[in-house]
Amino acid sequence: MKNIHVITFVVLVLCGCSKHHEIPARNLVVAGKDTTWHGSEDEVTVMRIAKRNGDSLEGISAICRGAPDGPPATITADKGWISYDLSPVRSHGVTYSNMVVITLKNARLQTDKKDKVIEDLTMYLRP
């Protein structure tokens, strides 16, 4: 009986001491996979990267939806990179620390009303 109490105590201590390990957002940027990100406000972005070499990205395409009723925006760029930004971002009373900052070079932004090229488009994204 004493052994059962000791084993139960050890299991409870070990389970209580286990830590939740969050995957860094930059590690979720994977080539060939659609990844869903959240931006500012209610913005949701689905992004696909054709090639990743370290922090360098190639063949980037994204579909962004800001408002649920609004039209989506399509963003494409041949090249981009993951920027280092380790400071937490505060939005609507919540502080987000697990973020990735992606900068796209000569990104083409298309909606139903506009089609323009942005020289350096910076996107702050969280999983």
Contact at 8 Å (CB) between 28 and 127?
yes
Contact at 8 Å (CB) between 49 and 60?
yes
| pTM beyond 0.85, yes or no | no
| Band (19; pLDDT cuts 50, 70, 90) | low
What Rg, from alpha-carbon coordinates, does the chain have? 20
pLDDT tens digits for 31-42?
999 999 987 667
| Pairwise CA distance, residues 109 & 12, whole Å | 53
| Residue 88: predicted pLDDT | 73
- Domain boundaries defined on the chain: 23-125
Contact at 8 Å (CB) between 83 and 57?
no
| Residue 108: predicted pLDDT | 97
- On the question of pLDDT at 13 being above 60, the answer is no
